[in-house]
Amino acid sequence: MGTTRANLAVSGCERRSVTSALQIVNHDELNLHTKPIRHTLLNPKDGQDVSRAIRLLCLVADLRRLDVSDFTPSEKITHRALSLLGEMFDALVNPFIMPTLSLSEQMIQLLKFAHMACALFMKHDGDFSRTNSTGIFSVLNPMLKVFLSLLGDDVLEILFGRSRMIGGHSPNHDVDELRRRICSALRVDKIFEKYPHLERRARRLRLVRNRDVDHLSPREWEGDLTAGSCDIHACYHAGVAQARAVLAKYGCDTDFTACFSQEGFDLMRPKGGKYPGLFKEVDRLLENASAALDSETTAPESTSSAGTNLDAQILTFDANAALAAEQVVRAAQEAAAPLGGHSLWISLNEDGSKKAHKKQFYEHSWIPHSTSRMERAIIGFFVWDRTASTAYSKSTANDHLLKIHGLFATLICFDTSKVSLAILQCTGIKITSTHPITYLEAAPSAEISLPDSKYEVSGQILSLVPFDESTDPSIVNISWAWVTEYVSFESTKAKKASGGDTSARMRHLSVTSDGRLVLPLTSTDSKQSTLEEILKIPPTSDKDSEKTWVFSNAQLEVLGASLCDRVKEEEVRLKIPTFGMVKEGRYPSVRGYNHK
């Protein structure tokens, strides 16, 4: 049972597939007792809330341990793909949140992640984006510790933030002011290094719970991080072996040795070519730097004297005198101003000694564009409608509802003019007549298909193959079985190659159909069978075989005829989704069979 590109596409697994997976799993097992928790994790109002992002990544990794015995065939395939994604997230996050790991164990985990991401990128091209970072060390003392958590840009961000903080109400600065502020920020770092209890750590990185941090600071690490304890070659082979084992388990085995044996191919450029981010042209910044260096060598005395004068001005500056002069000027301006004139300030007492800006009193906390991060978070918390998406989730009549991961039939147009019946696995339901658009977990089947339907349903087309279900050779009884793959199309805008052939790039598209073209399938429209039952062979092992969807040809013909009656109206006919040529997959046509 292979894992397809549709399950592994970033656009699917990043949010939509994760969303649908969290809707089908046992919430108690994942500590997702309420819908607001899932909404908060998948739609954070604070884009910089690191702890929430880490919790979501860890939650995807935990999906591997779910009991899938009650899952439908389509749900099992989605869970299989998300389990592979979870293995990769687990290898990425653990080296930064588990303080007991040694440097060797950290390296093995990161190498496992890098090679898994590389394998998925080689297989799916741009459908799976990856980001790799290199760490270069020059170890002079093997007894010193190596902190991978410091390889990021956090140190630079903290330095820049403190340099702006030092400016107070004037955070912006020119180059000369930046030099002075960075010097002050470095002195502050020295103070915090000597007296760590004085430092107020960032709220979103504070170590409250181990799972709620993106990485730990060096002082909190317990594992052996000495450089001499890490054998990079042994770690590399161990990481690659673990990556290959996981990839083989989920049907994506990759021989990295063979891939990287070719000249010009390696982990940073798995498809060959040049390294990303490198250009052949000369960096213009280097030219400017060399010109500046030449100018400094021609006039060193003038530069030195200017710097000396500048330092003398800073040391002799009298801030108290300057402030007193500004206060005198301001008092004179206020005295000369006419009574009742416009002012941005409001008096807080009778004598006017205490004032505040009017904006503090006239800006309401519910303004969507508030500059306060806490107010924006509160706004999102109260604005979201918690009842809309779960309007039908408590219904017990499952056959009367179309739910996420349910099945439905629709018509599609491919190769410009061919129309065919398609069976889809539902990935999203939304109401387009509301503002903003309302997304649902389930909707009444009868209401979706009404002539004035306000719904749009998205899904992936199942790849079906025909087989004879009859035991009598003289009777042909055709049925269709899902081969655990999804149909691939070319885009209608695919460019022609130089040889006249269409582009070989394939995509598993998420098809969005108008509600008037959707026929939800009930439990009587399909059944589940194993591969041994379909091929009429004895079971190969004592273990229960995986089941797949099976549809009778007679039932599909009824669905196709019903949809053909609906498209007699031109308005409905224009709503049929249109694609290019079929590149991969099989499915039944409206009349007879249409397969490759």
* pLDDT tens sequence across 284-311: 655 555 565 555 555 555 545 555 565 6
Give the contacts of 515 (CB within 8 A, at least 6 positions apart).
Answer: 448, 449, 450, 453, 454, 455, 456, 457
3-class state of residue 427 by DSSP: strand
Give the contacts of 276 (CB within 8 A, at least 6 positions apart).
Answer: 268, 269
pLDDT at 110: 92
pLDDT at 388: 54
Grade residue 498 by pLDDT with cuts at 50, 70 and 90.
very low
Query: Lowest-pLDDT range, 65-79, 334-348, 528-542, 582-596?
Result: 582-596
pLDDT at 278: 60
For residue 32, pLDDT over 90 is answered with no
Per-residue pLDDT tens digits for 401-442:
888 888 999 998 887 778 888 899 998 899 888 777 888 888
Q: Which residue has the higher pLDDT, 224 or 396?
A: 224
Q: Which residue has the higher pLDDT, 178 or 590?
A: 178
Query: H/E element holding 410?
Result: strand 407-414
pLDDT at 208: 46
- Over pLDDT 90: what percentage of the chain? 10
Whether the model clears a pTM of 0.85, i.e. scores above it, the answer is no
Chain-centroid distance, C-alpha 448: 30
pLDDT at 245: 94
Per-residue pLDDT tens digits for 556-568:
888 889 998 888 8
Q: Write down the H helix ranges in 98-174.
A: 103-124, 154-166
Grade residue 207 by pLDDT with cuts at 50, 70 and 90.
very low
pLDDT at 572: 87
Q: Using CA atoms, how far apart are residues 247 and 471, in angstroms rounded to an integer?
A: 39
**105-144 burial code (b ≥16 CB/10 A, e <16):** bbbbbbbbbbbbbbbbbbebeebbebeeeeeeeeeeeeee
Choose from 246-250, 396-400, 487-491 the range with maximum mean pLDDT. Answer: 246-250
Query: Lowest-pLDDT range, 292-306, 374-388, 461-475?
Result: 374-388
Of the candidates 15, 75, 70, the residue with the CA atom closest to the CA atom of residue 425: 75
Give the contacts of 475 (CB within 8 A, at least 6 positions apart).
Answer: none
Chain-centroid distance, C-alpha 452: 35
3-class state of residue 527 by DSSP: strand
Identity of the amino acid at 36:
P
Query: Lowest-pLDDT range, 12-16, 383-387, 523-527?
Result: 12-16
Q: Using CA atoms, how far apart are residues 467 and 271, in angstroms rounded to an integer?
A: 39
pLDDT at 212: 44
pLDDT at 497: 42
Of the candidates 1, 539, 581, 550, the residue with the CA atom closest to the CA atom of residue 252: 1
Per-residue pLDDT tens digits for 99-144:
899 999 999 999 999 999 888 888 876 666 666 666 666 667 888 8
Q: Using CA atoms, how far apart are residues 112 and 91, in angstroms rounded to an integer?
A: 7
For residue 177, pLDDT over 80 is answered with yes
**Residues 505 and 584 sit within 8 Å (Cβ to Cβ):** no
Grade residue 507 by pLDDT with cuts at 50, 70 and 90.
low
Choose from 133-142, 237-246, 338-347 the range with maximum mean pLDDT. Answer: 237-246
Within 10 Å of residue 58's Cβ, how many Cβ atoms?
17
Within 10 Å of residue 175's Cβ, how many Cβ atoms?
6
pLDDT at 102: 92
Q: Which residue has the higher pLDDT, 278 or 393?
A: 278
pLDDT at 408: 92
Q: Using CA atoms, how far apart are residues 408 and 484, in angstroms rounded to an integer?
A: 16
Grade residue 376 by pLDDT with cuts at 50, 70 and 90.
very low
Q: Which residue has the higher pLDDT, 75 or 339?
A: 75
pLDDT at 167: 82
Q: Using CA atoms, how far apart are residues 184 and 187, in angstroms rounded to an integer?
A: 5
Q: What is the mean pLDDT of residues 150-165?
A: 81
Query: Contacts by 207-211 with C-beta closer than 8 Å and gap 24+?
Result: 210/97, 210/98, 210/99, 211/54, 211/55, 211/58, 211/97
pLDDT at 33: 44
In which residue are the tokens 């990856």 written? Answer: 130
For residue 396, pLDDT over 50 is answered with no
Per-residue pLDDT tens digits for 247-282:
999 888 888 888 888 888 888 888 887 776 665 666
3-class state of residue 454 by DSSP: coil
pLDDT at 291: 60
Grade residue 235 by pLDDT with cuts at 50, 70 and 90.
very high
Q: Using CA atoms, how far apart are residues 591 and 418, in angstroms rounded to an integer?
A: 12
- Over pLDDT 70: what percentage of the chain? 65
Q: If you average pLDDT over every residue of the chain, what do you get?
A: 74
pLDDT at 350: 74
Q: Write down the H helix ranges in 207-318.
A: 232-249, 256-260, 284-298, 300-316
